[in-house]
């Protein structure tokens, strides 16, 4: 035996202990002897013995009690009970508690060694069984985690599909609404333009009357003057021009909103075309204006940018999401600043807000699907994930700089010249 195995011998008979020492030493074991159960437990508390030869009948605490304490510990040894009484009930009790063997005195050396080898084999098998159980438990745990993650991913995919279907439905409805609004807006604008022309002609006629007024008799001239004053003709002409101008401005705003809705709901989003990033931002701002106007003053600083080959509808969605998020981040009244410029042959767009800011912990996962810092029921957590995907399709990057209590800045960079692999839809 290359590595000597320690054996604790517990027996109150000196001759028996000496016999065990000779047999065990000769067989390559390393025996340690004690005559009392309490001494054995004290020894075992400081030194671990893989094997214990334990007499049943001893002064003080019995071998059965020692066995019970040894088996109750975290690391229990292989225990062989030794006794001079052939009592089946005691033997059954010892084996039930956890003894690996039950030897009845007198016995031969080989019989003892066989029992020792058998006890060691049992402990080895128990160890392997524990290791195997631990391994199986870890495999089950790992597999459970994998299945839970797969389930979360599946649910996330299902929610994303549902969300995309909702967006498609909303887009279809928006296209219909835009079409319905566009028709009356068209003839309202046309009629307002016609009224403006009519008002101009009326104004010309009144001017002509003024030119001929001196030719009238004095009493008629005065009567005409008083009638014009009482009817407030000058005020009506001036105010009518202002009213028509405001109406035409409102109609133009409606046209822009309708154009934005139609652009967002177009089905040719997979078609790349030359477009201006500044126009995409303006289009997004028009659509998102209702979310922005009550929360923030918008400051715009557009640079002189070249047109690029891109998906303008998708980029408009990117800017709309960022603008709406900026508005939602502002609790009362704040400022949203939009800047664009050209740097190293890349278009840079920075959208800043003076909102609540984002914590460093949340910044690390802000672009992850379904992650949101908004209250429950507000937002889907898909906005910034989709923003990141669209920017990546254009060969660009998006970054965030934020400080809690001061605001956030999202910066997007898109190359001016994009290769086919960047502008091709995946």
**pLDDT score for 381:** 44
Cis peptide before 106, with omega less than 30 degrees from 0?
Answer: yes
Residues 79-117 pLDDT 10s: 888 888 888 888 888 888 888 888 888 888 888 888 888
Residue with tokens 């802000």: 366
Interacting residues of 264 by C-beta distance below 8 A, sequence separation 6+: 171, 174, 287, 313, 316, 317, 320
Does this model's pTM top 0.95? no
Give dist(CA 47, CA 39) in Å, integer.
12
Q: Residue 253's Cα: distance from chain center in Å? A: 38
Half-sphere exposure in the Cβ direction for 377 (13 Å, CA): 0
Domain span(s) for CATH 3.30.565.10 in the chain: 269-426
Residues 48-61 pLDDT 10s: 888 889 888 888 88
**pLDDT score for 260:** 65
Specify whether the CB–CB gap between 357 and 326 falls below 8 A: no
Residues 3-34 pLDDT 10s: 788 888 988 888 888 888 999 998 889 999 99
- Residue count of the chain: 426
* pLDDT at residue 251 greater than cutoff 60: yes
Interacting residues of 373 by C-beta distance below 8 A, sequence separation 6+: 358, 362, 366
Q: What is the mean pLDDT of residues 390-415?
A: 91
Percent of the chain topping pLDDT 90: 17
Give dist(CA 129, CA 123) in Å, integer.
10
CA distances from 82 to 8, 17, 23, 54, 298 (A): 13, 12, 15, 6, 92
Residue with tokens 């089905």: 267
Specify whether the CB–CB gap between 38 and 61 falls below 8 A: yes
Residues 357-379 pLDDT 10s: 888 888 877 877 666 666 554 44
Give dist(CA 363, CA 384) in Å, integer.
12
* pLDDT at residue 163 greater than cutoff 70: no
Confidence band, pLDDT 50/70/90 cuts, at residue 351: very high
Confidence band, pLDDT 50/70/90 cuts, at residue 234: confident
Which runs of E-coded beta strand occur in 66-135? 78-83, 101-104
Rounded mean pLDDT of the chain?
Answer: 82
* pLDDT at residue 423 greater than cutoff 60: no
Domain span(s) for CATH 3.40.50.2300 in the chain: 6-107
* pLDDT at residue 412 greater than cutoff 90: yes
For 370: left if phi > 0, alpha if psi spans -120 to 50, otherwise beta; the answer is left
Q: What is the mean pLDDT of residues 241-268?
A: 74
Interacting residues of 156 by C-beta distance below 8 A, sequence separation 6+: 369, 370
Residue with tokens 């001929």: 212
Based on DSSP, count helices (H) and strands (E) in the chain, helices before strands.
12, 12
Give dist(CA 276, CA 319) in Å, integer.
13
| CATH class for the domain made up of 6-107 | alpha beta
The values of phi and psi at residue 346, to 5°, are -130, 140
Residue 214 DSSP label:
G
| CATH class for the domain made up of 269-426 | alpha beta
Q: Which of 316, 66, 233, 337 is nearest to 82 (CA)?
A: 66
Q: Which of 178, 186, 423, 181 is nearest to 314 (CA)?
A: 423
């Amino acid at each position: 035996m290359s590595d000597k195995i320690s054996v604790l011998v517990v027996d109150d008979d000196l001759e028996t202990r000496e016999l065990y020492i000779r047999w065990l030493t000769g067989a390559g074991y390393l025996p340690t002897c004690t005559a009392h159960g309490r001494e054995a437990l004290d020894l075992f508390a400081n030194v671990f013995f893989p094997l214990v030869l334990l007499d049943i009948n001893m002064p003080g605490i019995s071998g059965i009690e020692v066995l019970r304490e040894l088996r109750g510990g975290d690391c229990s040894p292989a225990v062989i009970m030794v006794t001079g009484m052939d009592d089946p009930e005691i033997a059954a009790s010892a084996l039930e508690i956890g003894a690996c063997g039950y030897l009845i005195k007198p016995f031969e050396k080989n019989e003892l060694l066989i029992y020792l080898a058998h006890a060691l084999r049992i402990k080895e098998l128990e160890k392997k069984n524990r290791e195997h159980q631990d391994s199986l438990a870890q495999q089950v745990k790992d597999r459970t985690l994998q299945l839970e993650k797969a389930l979360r991913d599946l649910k996330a995919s299902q929610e994303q599909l549902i969300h995309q279907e909702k967006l498609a439905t909303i887009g279809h409805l928006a296209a219909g609404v835009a079409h319905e609004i566009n028709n009356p807006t068209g003839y309202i604008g046309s009629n307002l333009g016609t009224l403006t022309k009519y008002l101009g002609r009326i104004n010309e006629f009144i001017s002509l009357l003024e030119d001929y007024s001196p030719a009238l008799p004095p009493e008629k001239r005065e009567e005409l003057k008083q009638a014009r004053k009482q009817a407030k003709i000058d005020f009506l002409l001036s105010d009518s021009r202002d009213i028509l101008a405001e109406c035409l401005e409102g109609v133009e705003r409606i046209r822009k909103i309708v154009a934005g809705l139609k652009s967002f709901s177009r089905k040719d989003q997979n078609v790349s075309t030359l477009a201006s990033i500044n126009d995409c931002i303006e289009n997004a701002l028009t659509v998102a204006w209702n979310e922005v106007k009550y929360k923030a003053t918008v400051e715009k600083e557009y640079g002189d940018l070249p047109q690029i080959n891109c998906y303008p509808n998708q980029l408009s969605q990117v800017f709309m999401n960022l603008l709406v998020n900026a508005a939602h981040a502002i609790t009362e009244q704040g400022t949203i600043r939009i800047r664009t410029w050209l740097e190293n042959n890349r278009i840079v767009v920075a959208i800043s807000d003076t909102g609540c800011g984002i914590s460093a912990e949340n910044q690390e996962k802000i672009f992850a699907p379904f992650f949101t810092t908004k209250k429950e029921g507000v937002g889907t957590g898909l906005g910034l994930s989709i923003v990141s995907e669209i920017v990546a399709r254009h060969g660009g990057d998006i970054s965030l700089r934020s400080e809690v209590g001061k605001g956030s800045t999202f910066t997007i960079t898109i190359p001016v010249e994009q290769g086919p692999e960047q502008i091709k839809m995946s």
